[in-house]
A and B are shown apart, each in its own frame.
Chain A
Amino acid sequence: MVFLMAKYGALDDVLVALADPTRRAVIRSLGAGPASVSQLAKSFPITLPSFMKHVHMLESSGLIETRKSGRVRTCTLNRDRLLLLDNWLDEQRALWEQRTDRLERLVTDHQENR
């Protein structure tokens, strides 16, 4: 259950990270493959320091990973993180299905016991 909470925390981070047009555009470009921060930054009319803030936020949400090699920092999309979002409603469904299984078991046993 603690695991669930941690996962929901991660989901929150993903949602917040995606709630910004610049960051979504970064995700979109990285869908095409890894790119360096300077390549990515060129497409946005903002300063490099502001752009770096977005990169850091994406990185701390786990949506992207970055690796520095020499003077070049390369960003890679972490697709598993996007799955967090996809899986969530399925999980809610499973939770209610299983809850109903247990209720059903209880009330039908109840019947037989009488």
Chain B
Amino acid sequence: MTTIDPRCDLTLERVIRAPRSTVWRAWTDPALLQRWWVPAPTIARIDRLEVQPGGAFVTRMSDDGRTFSAHTDSIFLVVEPQERLVFTNAIDSSWHPAAPAPVPMTAEIILREHPEGTDYRVVVRHGDPADRDRHEELGFFEGWGSVTNALAALAEGENAA
């Protein structure tokens, strides 16, 4: 259920010196989320933030505050108040299976109590970029990391030889 594939997943852990309820609110209150979701000077607009399983999580972004382009179009999978949020862009907010570029991902946000505030963890699971090419040849692309390492080693090694 919560396995991590180091080749294409990433994990992040941080102690945030604020109570869990505050961190939770920063994620689930559109006015707060809007303030940190994208890096300044880009402006985020939170179009939909329906914090419940199957609920839409849709954001747009803008560089000039006038023209907004698509940013996040995803749904929540799991919502455990003050504890866990899971959302994915592999299914869009209208529940259509999606093919976001470059690969789909599922983000899991985990909040736990910590003496100094909140033990904050993020796990982002990425689709194997080779999924789309599976019918062509499975063997070569064993994973995101391995393919690049293998290719780089190959190219460098043979160059040296």
Query: Which residues of A pack against B, CB within 8 Å?
Result: 1-2, 5, 8-9, 11-12, 15-16, 18-21, 24, 27-33, 77, 79, 82, 85-86, 88-89, 92-93, 96-100, 102-108, 110-111
Contacts and interface: CB of A to CB of B under 8 A. Distances in A.
B22 A111 contact: yes
Interface string B146-157: 011001101111
A86 B26 CA distance: 32
29 contacts: A1-B42, A1-B69, A2-B69, A8-B102, A15-B102, A18-B141, A18-B147, A19-B136, A27-B151, A27-B155, A28-B154, A28-B158, A82-B152, A82-B155, A85-B144, A86-B152, A88-B102, A89-B145, A99-B36, A99-B37, A100-B120, A103-B23, A103-B26, A103-B27, A104-B17, A105-B36, A108-B16, A108-B17, A111-B22
B22 A85 contact: no
A111 B18 contact: yes
Per DSSP, chain A at the interface is helix
